[in-house]
């Protein structure tokens, strides 16, 4: 594994899409990309907050439910000239107030909760990649950065379905890297630890504190996105945990880069 800190990136003249851009990691990355010179398309379903972020960064707002394939089709005109797509929108498994949920890790996975998390965390990434790749491939350039998680690199006992979605995203990233890297389109994923966003409920924050698990700032996650953009290594995974250096995660260079014949 190799660490990567403080890259110099100039995004002047580039256009970047940020899904889930109205708050948390998305909002912070939208601000960072704009500060680096990019024109930012802030996409979200929370219109007032999303428009406010877009206005702040001098970008444009796009109402987009990432779990809806029709919404991606309707937004296609706004996605043609993208240089960067940060596919970030995501949710946790638990739905507050879900009457059918229990405290058991799999007990909270009601049908409604399962469809919601798969729609945002997996479908949203697949639909997003499908929407932006054709124009990037035709142009021979572009970079897709996907928000995965440290939960996609190991076990997350208290939320197995969240872990499932992030493992799916990690595998998708590596496969897209092999497939589209030769066409000039880079796909990377960031794998942060627990970040200080609305996904961290008060109960979870209390539990993490008791376990001495660090909660990192959204700004630190934005650093990781910039590191991925600067490195431009197709299929790469970029991990950040607490105060440790941002690191390219390579568990096994032999098997991780193996292309499986069909």
Q: Is the pLDDT of residue 159 over 90?
A: no
How far is Cα 44 from Cα 213, in angstroms, rounded to an integer? 29
How far is Cα 202 from Cα 196, in angstroms, rounded to an integer? 11
pLDDT the model gives residue 39: 97
Q: Is the pLDDT of residue 25 over 60?
A: yes
In tens, the pLDDT along 190-205 reads 999 876 666 666 666 6
Q: Which of the residues 61, 114, 127, 162 is marked catalytic?
A: 162
Query: For 88-114, what is the mean pLDDT?
Result: 76
User: Long-range contacts: 38-41, Cβ < 8 Å, 24+?
Assistant: 38/11, 38/12, 38/14, 38/83, 38/84, 39/14, 39/15, 40/15, 40/16, 41/15, 41/16, 41/17, 41/78, 41/79, 41/82
Cβ pair 173, 147 in contact under 8 A: no
Q: Is the pLDDT of residue 112 over 50?
A: yes
Is 162 noted as a catalytic residue in this protein? Answer: yes
Ordered domains of the chain (ranges, CATH): 2-249 (3.40.50.720)
Beta bridge partner(s), residue 17: 41, 85
In tens, the pLDDT along 27-47 reads 999 999 999 999 999 999 999
pLDDT the model gives residue 109: 82
Among candidate residues 178, 64, 49, 182, the one with its CA nearest the CA of residue 128:
64
**Of 232 and 98, which is predicted with more confidence?**
232
Please give the full DSSP string across 41-52, using - where no structure is assigned: EEEES-HHHHHH
Q: Is the pLDDT of residue 3 over 50?
A: no
pTM of the complete model: 0.89
pLDDT the model gives residue 262: 45
**Of 8 and 155, which is predicted with more confidence?**
155
Cβ pair 8, 78 in contact under 8 A: no
In tens, the pLDDT along 140-157 reads 999 999 999 988 999 988
Among candidate residues 217, 249, 230, the one with its CA nearest the CA of residue 84:
230
Q: Is the pLDDT of residue 75 over 50?
A: yes
Lowest mean pLDDT among 8-17, 194-203, 244-253: 194-203
Cα radius of gyration rounded to whole Å, the chain = 18
């Amino acid at each position: 594994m190799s660490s990567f800190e403080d890259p110099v990136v100039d995004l002047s003249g580039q256009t970047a899409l940020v899904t889930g851009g109205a708050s948390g990691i998305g909002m912070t990355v939208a601000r960072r990309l704009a500060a680096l010179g990019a024109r930012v398309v802030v996409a979200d379903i929370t219109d007032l907050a999303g428009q406010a972020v877009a206005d702040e960064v001098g970008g444009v707002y796009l109402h987009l439910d990432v779990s809806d394939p029709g919404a991606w089709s309707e937004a296609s005109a706004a996605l043609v000239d993208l240089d960067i797509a940060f596919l970030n929108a995501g949710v946790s498994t638990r739905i507050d107030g879900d009457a059918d949920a229990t405290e058991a890790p799999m007990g909270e996975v009601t049908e409604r909760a399962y469809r919601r998390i798969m729609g945002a965390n997996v479908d949203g990434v697949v639909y997003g990649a499908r929407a932006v790749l054709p124009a990037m491939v035709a142009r021979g350039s572009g970079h897709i950065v996907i928000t995965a998680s440290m939960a996609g690199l190991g076990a997350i006992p208290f939320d197995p379905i969240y872990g499932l979605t992030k493992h799916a995203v990690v595998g998708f990233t590596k496969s897209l890297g092999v497939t589209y890297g030769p066409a000039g389109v880079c796909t990377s994923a960031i794998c942060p630890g627990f970040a200080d966003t609305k996904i961290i409920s008060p109960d979870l924050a209390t539990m993490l504190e008791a376990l001495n698990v660090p909660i990192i700032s959204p700004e630190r996650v934005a650093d990781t996105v910039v590191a991925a953009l600067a490195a431009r290594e197709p299929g790469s995974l970029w991990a950040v945990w607490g105060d440790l250096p941002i690191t390219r995660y390579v568990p096994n260079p032999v098997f991780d880069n193996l292309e499986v014949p069909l």
